[in-house]
A and B are shown apart, each in its own frame.
Chain A
Amino acid sequence: MSAPTPISTGHEGTVRDQFRSYIQRVRGGDMGSLPAILALVVLAALFASLSPYFLTTGNIANLFVQASELTVLACALVFVLLLAEIDLSAGVTAGSGMAVFQVLFGVLGWNWIVALLLALAAGAVIGAVIGFFVSRIGVPSFVVTLGLFLGLQGFMLLLLGDGGIYRLEQPELKAIMNSNMPVWAGWAMLAIAVFGSFGLGLSDRMRRTKVGLPTRPFIMLIFKVAAIAILGGLVVLLLSVNRGQALLAIEGVPIVIPIVLIILVVGTFVLDRTVFGRYIYAVGGNPEAARRAGIKVAQIRLYAFIICSTLAVVSGLLHASRIGSIESTAGRTIVLEGVAAAVVGGVSLFGGRGRLAYAAVGALVISIIDNGLGLIGLPAGANFLITGGVLVAAATIDALSRRRSGVSIMRT
């Protein structure tokens, strides 16, 4: 009864075959963050030619630090965007978490670690409230989170008082965005990344071989690891050069970078390799099919909102660390940039498609526009116009690629 040749698994063939099938997928509308990466290269080249400061090591370090806050927020939003939901309150959730921190730490004088953990817990509670209304009652997330967007602004004002601005004094927290790791730690981080991805690739190959499945050409794994080593090495090298004045050395990878990388790696692991992650994609792709497969759809939605709001508080911490203060008006506008970053990076607003890495690429694009336009001295108005234009372009690519892959036709 069995067919003579087994059905392909996508791992067969030479490097050339693999490359060809990748091109085919891209032409079929599965572009991922390719447009965003191209935009990143074009923008970098453009700003480098317009401003002599753009490619200085100081500015590159600055760019990464600026982007980190947005990256974490965009990653948070990916969890709900994958379900075709939205969280408009993520920015003020971030602010509210820090307001809770300020009350516990600044006013009540609690230990800063405890206060920080409770601030994250406050985020989780906000996420649970959103998740409850969306998944159990069926209120559209747009409306629930719009309500919370307003409500949490009031919450922050009540906690911190009108126009309240408090300095963030804790040195460990200020250091996150304003200090750098020793140079050796940057290289150690790179080594962990390189060996980690190589080890994971190897163990995946061994598992496939053990089961009796074909594996991709080994050289492709080498390519992948080499790409991480070279690109990562370049960044670490640039950040290891002294970018300060003669007397005071500023060198090393900013502390925030490994924090963002850990969030990216752990989040990607959850989405790609756990049952929970698989269910997020399934619910985002077709909730009815997920329900019939026995997935507890409401529960998945609830958890996604909890993850989103908790991670949002982390981005709030990064923001407070960078500006050195906690404000009662924090986070009102950044959420839209967060959504923009995710969409620009290739996360679909229609649900079911996207990865955390896309959100990170998108956040870099948005940040590079901000950074570059500031350097060449264009007015702030131009910044908004260009960022808005990029967002509409990205959403258009998303809608068109959906049409090409036939999804929008099938789903009525």
Chain B
Amino acid sequence: MKHLAGAVIAALMGSAAMAADPGVTDTEIRIGDVNIMTGPASFIGRAVSIGSKIAADEINAAGGVNGRKITIVTEDDGYIPARSFQALTKLLEVDEIFALNGTSGTANVLAMMPLIEENNLPTIVSTAPNELVYDPVRPSVFTLGASYSDAFYAQLKYIHENTQPENPVYGLIRQDDDFGLAVEHGYERAVKDFGVKDGGIVRFKKGTSNFAAEMIQMRAAGVNVLANGGIISGAANILSEARKLGMPLESAQVWSEDMPLSVNLAAQAGYDYYVGDYVALTGDDYDAFVEKAKQYVTADDIAAMNRYTLVTYAALHAMAEAMGQCGQDLTRACTVENLRKLKDFEVGGIMAPISFDNDKQLSGTAIAVYQLDAASKTFTRKTDFADY
């Protein structure tokens, strides 16, 4: 009788726990995605959604998470933090999501943080791996991705050790915001560690198109190794000015510059620039991923894929792994606990294995350096994934 009562109480507690955590039924798990689906940065949001779709379809085709199919519920925030908060409120209260796997930009995820913490929402931040997200650590938040600082350090290290330009003078051009500051940290660390000449740091406002004066300053300083902190059109315009001024350059770039649309803009300047990224841009594993993706998304989606597709795909697989380890009694607390224990989780070689079992609940920090061939618009991998 005692055993029976215990079993009944345990069963009631179990169902109460399940009832307490929304977004899970016997057949479905709803995962939220707050994303940039409109506005100038919506190509990122689309790529993120494609990554989620590929991962969800693949997991569902293999039987789901302990028999439950994953459903992705996407809300657009237009890259506006206030709208991110509204979007997550809607996902929590109307769609009743179980976890979150799309978090827009840094300011956006920070805007959503009170809701994430209040609901103990299992969350993987994969598109804004900023220090502000993982320091201080929030119990249910896991971050996937390297810092801009390490990405630039990795590239400058490669340039320093392998290309050895004559009379090297390093220079940095960067945005006057938190992102630019992170780039500057990597640059300063590199200049200090390698003992190279610092030609100077030039800061510019976000949205600047005309970099003529900045690049004239760089040329006057004799800069021939450039840490280019411009993004997309900005990065391309910086290289275009450098070309006009006849500057021989080894250029380190932000990882956004490995996206096809960025390459199309910047390759015109003719520089075989570098990028440091925590996802694979080339190789057998990347090719295998693309082949797999073709089973689940359209040709248009394949064309719109970029690095954000890969990182979001990896993040959803990590989330599914943590949920799967909970068995049938799937709760947010259990998922968070399992994410915290996740170690060396393989994601098909498209990035280094994922491990959140560290103080910062941070993974994917290993960076590979790639070099563009501007003529063919293709990248060659120059280093393995490594932490810097």
The judgment on whether A and B are partners is no
